[in-house]
A = this chain, B = another copy of it.
Amino acid sequence: MNEHFYATPTAALMLIGNELLSGRTQDKNLAFIGSRLAARGIVLAEARIIADIPEVIVDTINHLRAVHTYVFTTGGIGPTHDDITAECVADAFEVELPIHPEAESRLLAYFASRDIEPNADRMRMARIPLGASLIDNPVSIAPGFQMENVIVMAGVPRIMQAMFTNVEPTLAQGPCIESVSVLCDLGEGTLASALRELQERYPNLDLGSYPVSIKNGSSVALVAKGQDIAQLQEVGLLLEEMVTELGGDVLKES
């Protein structure tokens, strides 16, 4: 990635949970958040997967929120003893973690309607760092929250996606990054030299090559990203020409 893509806004993502690091759970949140941020012109600059250890979570929040426009977190906002993200955000910002009246009343109404006991553990999910605003959770009601530039979401993909969708319209809109992609049957070693030359000719585009598995063997996707659509279309044609000149075929993306 060329450094000028590091125009603000940038974001960092924290995926919180031992189960991601032990291999028990396959993460599905990074790709969703990365692509949705990209569509809004926000560069996801880094993602960190960390364990359920308070000091690690607090330090990571404080480091990342000073560096990036936004910090997104997933995981650790449920009712059990290993759900410690809200405490950690409160610690990071050095604020209290009281019961939030609106969160409390939403949870009480939801539990009453489903005949679920509003026990102390469930009501832990109404504790919100002082000064944070709620992020609606249409799936299971217990809200996420935003504290300054830190956006705290659930780890369950369906709930996280609903929360992200709710907060999305409030995010800064960055310069729109478009892309063109050309799939071909040549190896990276065959393409590398011509691709490097093209990157040098178009320094304000970000050119990459990605081996992908397809039905009958392997192929390489050539991708150009940038803000100038006319230029991208031009480079898309040049990439196709490059493939043909090097003796390959352009494949249809399935």
Interface centre among A43, A207, A211, A225 (most CB of B within 10 A): A211
Cβ contact within 8 Å between B223 and A193: no
- Chain A contact-residue range equals 35 or more
The residues in A between 81 and 107 inclusive whose CB is less than 8 angstroms from any CB of B are 81-82
Interface string of A13-30 (1 = CB under 8 A from B): 000001111111111101
Cβ contact within 8 Å between A53 and B211: no
The residues in A between 1 and 58 inclusive whose CB is less than 8 angstroms from any CB of B are 1, 3, 18-28, 30-36, 38, 43-53, 56
Does A209 belong to the interface (CB within 8 Å)?
yes
Known: A82-B208, A119-B193, A189-B122. A22 touches B46 (CB 8 A): no
The residues in A between 199 and 230 inclusive whose CB is less than 8 angstroms from any CB of B are 199, 206-211, 223, 225
* Complex: chain B residue closest to A51, CB-CB: B1
Cβ contact within 8 Å between A24 and B195: no
Known: A80-B195, A81-B195, A195-B81. A27 touches B21 (CB 8 A): no
Cβ contact within 8 Å between B35 and A31: no
- A18 CA to B179 CA in the complex, in Å? 13
* Complex: chain B residue closest to A52, CB-CB: B1
**Measured between C-beta atoms, what is the minimum distance from A213 to chain B in Å?**
8
- A121 CA to B50 CA in the complex, in Å? 36
- A186 CA to B224 CA in the complex, in Å? 48
Does A120 belong to the interface (CB within 8 Å)?
yes
* Among candidates B45, B191, B196, B223, residue contacting A21 with C-beta atoms closer than 8 Å: B45
Q: Which B residues are in CB contact (< 8 Å) with A21?
A: 30, 34, 43-47
Apart from the given pairs A21-B30, A46-B49, A121-B193, 11 other A-B contacts in the complex at a CB distance below 8 Å: A1-B52, A21-B43, A23-B30, A23-B38, A24-B35, A27-B30, A46-B50, A47-B49, A80-B195, A81-B199, A156-B211
Q: Could you list which residues of chain A lie within 8 angstroms of chain B, going by C-beta atoms?
A: 1, 3, 18-28, 30-36, 38, 43-53, 56, 78-82, 116-117, 119-122, 124, 156, 187-193, 195-196, 199, 206-211, 223, 225
A-B complex: 5 closest residue pairs judged by Cβ atoms: A23-B35, A121-B192, A23-B34, A122-B189, A47-B49
